[in-house]
Each structure stands twice: as C-alpha cells, then as structure tokens.
Amino acid sequence: TRGAESPPWRVLLTRRVPDSGVGALEASGQCEVQQWDSDDQIPQEELLRRVPGIHGLYCLLTDRVDAAVLDAAGPSLKVISTMSVGFDHLSLDECKKRGIRVGYTPDVLTDATAELTVGLLLATSRRLVEAAAEVKSGGWGTWKPMWMCGQGLSGSTVGVVGLGRIGMAVCERLKPFGVRRVLYTGRNPKPDAERRLDAQFLPLQGLLREADFVVVSCALTDATRGLFGREAFARMKRSAVFINVSRGLIVNQDDLYDALTSGEIAAAGLDVTTPEPLPTDHPLLSLSNCVIMPHIGSATIDTRSKMAVMTAENLLAGLRGEPMHAELKL
C-alpha cells in the first residue's frame, strides 16, 4: 500500500469535532489541517472550493463525497476517513477507480448505538414520550386500568433486519428482558450469531409476519433503500412496533404514516429520518404513536471522542501507507 507524498499533508476536516480528533492530527506533526470551523454542515459548494490539492479528507456522514468532489480534489487525494460507521454518503466505486483508501469507525460506537436502540424501543413500546407529555399537560387523571398501555418485551418475538455489530449488540441487551424468540434476516444466515443468541434466520416476509418488534439495523444499500414501504407494513402484526436506527431512506415515510394512522402497525420509533433534520411540520411528528430522535445513536461523550480519534488515526495511517484500524474493502 502506498501513502501520499512526503508530509506535511494537506488535510481538510469538514466540521468541529471533539478535540481528541484534531489533537491526534496535530500531534502527528505531519498535517496542515484546514477545518470548517462550525457545528453546521459545510455547504457542498464550499466543500468543492476547499478540496483541490488536499491529500486527506476527514469527513462526516452529512458530507456527500461524490465524483464531483473527488474530481475537484484531484490526484493528490489519497485517503478519505469518515467519522461514522455508515458509508452510504461516499461514492465508493469512484474512490476505488481513483485508488483512494477509505477509513470508517466500526465497533467503537456499537455499544452506544445499541443502548439508544433499546431506549428507543422501550420509549416507543411503553409510550414513554406520550405519557410524560400527559403529565405536563394535565392529561393524567386517576390511575386507569386501560390508560397508556403498550407492548411489553417479555415473551415477545424480536425480528432484526441486519444482524451486524449493532443488531447483535441490541439482541444481547434485549434477551434479558425475557424475549422468547429472536429472528433475523439479511443476505446470509450467520451460524455464529445463531449460536450466541439462539436466533433463527428467516426471509424478510416471514420475519415481518412473526415479529412483535421489528428492529432495523442494516446498512443503507441499493437493496435496502425503501425496504420498508406499504407492502412491508401490511405484512406486520397490527400490534407490531417498528424501530429504525439505520438510515432514513430505508423507510418510505408516507407509507409509514399511513400504517401508523390506519392501525396497520401499533407504533414506530425512529432515530433516523429523511431528511435530517425532519421539518417540524412533518406529519409523522403529529402522531402520538411515533417517537422520533434526532440521530443520536452514537451520542455519548466517550463514543464521539473515540470516533474522532479513530477517524484521525485511520487518516494518518492511510497517508503513511500503513494499515488502518478500520478500512473499507473497495
């Protein structure tokens, strides 16, 4: 593997990130870092304006790194390192054509994202957001036997779409709640995971028919884009709770709205939407049976710091022509 020409390397960092990330780049003494010094996304035209001649790009999941950006950067660009495990914002084919190496941040965010997924599932199934709002608005009358009842995990069947690192970690956390069956679907059965979780592989249709909780934790690809639309919701139980922590584009949100308002499914919890942020007048936000979080799966202080450092270290390793902690196979 060849790195970039000799240092100092020109690196563009597209956002304010935890100090540990910038610190790792600076401590190397090998980089001239140019940073988009803002908590907001770098506009695409600004990204295009700043990439020419860079050797390394430290980017985020909100940056669209496509052929136009790579062309603007030119042949000096050797390494892209994204501070995310998802890589659907990067045109990997175009990176491959140009011999650009790509780093990402698996594992360090698995626990935080699994915790948030369990929290979102409980908040949705036990109607926590709706119930807390009733306390504030005066809707809490006397204790009523049938008020604010939801779906419990004990004795339930959980179906995971995409049993990868996060899907596994979610199942491991849910099992102690007394889940009876764990089902999963994906491209291939995973015998190791089946042994660890006593899980059963099913085609998507079967999983949707049988699961009380459907948890989506797969990657966004051409095969998973729009996977959850009218047909998928129609196959689910009327009591089913749908959770998505993957990417918003996996769901057709108009169809989800219809499924939630017609009673085709009981409730949905989303950590990811299309677009992000979701406009405050979006119809899904008017529903009491839909809990929406602002993409905070990996948002613990420690996790974000580890992600920032890993992104920097991947970038440096790539520029030096060394193995990265985590590199995408292109």
Residues 219/225/230/232 CA torsion (nearest 10 deg):
-40
The footprint of ligand NDP on residues 285-304 (CB under 6 A) is 295, 297-298
Nearer to ligand DGY, 219 or 234 (CB): 219
Q: Which of 127, 199, 189 is nearest to 159 (CA)?
A: 199
Position 74, amino acid: G
- Tell me: does residue 18 bind ligand NDP (CB under 6 A): no
Q: For 259, phi and psi rounded to 5 degrees?
A: -65, -35
DSSP three-state, residue 80:
strand
- Tell me: does residue 219 bind ligand NDP (CB under 6 A): yes
Decide: 307 and 84 in contact? Cβ < 8 Å.
yes
Angstrom distances, CA of residue 2 to CA of 6, 56, 69, 96: 11, 14, 22, 14
Catalytic annotation, pick one of 55, 89, 282, 295: 295
The binding site for ligand DGY (CB under 6 A) comprises: 61, 84-86, 109, 297-298
Decide: 87 and 328 in contact? Cβ < 8 Å.
yes
- 55 catalytic per annotation: no
| Per-residue binder mask for ligand NDP (CB under 6 A), 126-165, x = binder | -----------------------------------xxxxx
Nearer to ligand DGY, 85 or 309 (CB): 85
Decide: 235 and 208 in contact? Cβ < 8 Å.
yes
Residue length, the chain? Answer: 330
| Residue 107 CB, nearest approach to ligand NDP (Å) | 7
Nearer to ligand DGY, 34 or 300 (CB): 300
- If phi > 0 it is left, if psi is from -120 to 50 it is alpha, else beta; for residue 53 that is left
DSSP three-state, residue 58:
strand
| Residue 224 CB, nearest approach to ligand NDP (Å) | 5
Residue in the structure block whose two tokens are 């949100």: 253
| Spatial separation of the C-alpha atoms in residues 123 and 269, rounded to whole Å | 8
Task: Select the binding partner of residue 61 from ligand DGY, ligand NDP, none (C-beta < 5 to 8 A, by kind).
Answer: ligand DGY
Element containing residue 234 per DSSP (H, E): helix 230-235
Nearer to ligand NDP, 28 or 252 (CB): 252
The footprint of ligand NDP on residues 242-271 (CB under 6 A) is 245-247, 271
| Residue 109 CB, nearest approach to ligand DGY (Å) | 5
Task: Select the binding partner of residue 165 from ligand NDP, ligand DGY, none (C-beta < 5 to 8 A, by kind).
Answer: ligand NDP
Nearer to ligand DGY, 207 or 250 (CB): 250
| Residue 206 CB, nearest approach to ligand NDP (Å) | 13
| Spatial separation of the C-alpha atoms in residues 135 and 137, rounded to whole Å | 6
Nearer to ligand DGY, 156 or 217 (CB): 217
Q: Among all residues, which ones are annotated catalytic?
A: 295
Residues at the site binding ligand NDP, with contacts judged by CB under 6 A: 85-86, 106, 109, 113, 161-167, 185-188, 217-221, 223-224, 245-247, 271-272, 295, 297-298
